[in-house]
Structure 1
């Protein structure tokens, strides 16, 4: 998961700042960046929102940093 570290470093953001903004501990972020641990879906969503990117980018499935468009609510759709 090289993109999790790449996006942070390329934007000159510290792991401490990611922790403060997302609530994910610095040690957990470090484990994600080194491949020692795989992020939970909840943490992937937090990171994708923080970095304004897609889950596919964070999981190295694409090189496109641009996030997907947000889903609009439609008639009949209920969360």
Structure 2
């Protein structure tokens, strides 16, 4: 379980003109759970972090705030 970078996650969602409910649907979870992920109240499972990275076309490191590079890593 991992706590996400609160601002990055919100920025990605807003950049894609999505609501909290929209992203919750992408993850297959409830609005309440997703709100807790985004506000850092609840850690997110790695599997859901990977779904978000793929959905937004970025890396998990970017979402976690470990890099400023928004592009995903090249696939092998």
TM over 0.5: yes
What is the number of residues matched between the two proteins? 71
Three-state SS of the structure 2 residue aligned to 1:61 is coil
Structure 1 residue 54, shift from structure 2 partner: 0.3
Give distance in 1, aligned partners of 2:58 and 2:29.
17
Shift of 1:14: 1.1
Name which of 9, 14, 18 aligns with 1:9: 14
Kindly state the Cα deviation for residue 10 of structure 1 after the two structures are TM-superposed.
2.2
Secondary structure of 1:53's partner?
A: coil
The normalised TM-score by structure 1 is 0.77
Give the number of the structure whose alpha-carbon radius of gyration is greater: 1
**Does the residue aligned with 1:48 lie in a helix, a strand or coil?**
helix
SS at match of 2:33: helix
Structure 1 regions of 5+ residues with no counterpart? 72-79
TM-score, with length taken from structure 2: 0.80
The aligned counterpart of 1:69 is: 74
Number of the residue aligned with 1:18: 23
Query: Take 2:59 and 2:39, find their aligned partners in 1: how far apart are those partners?
Result: 20
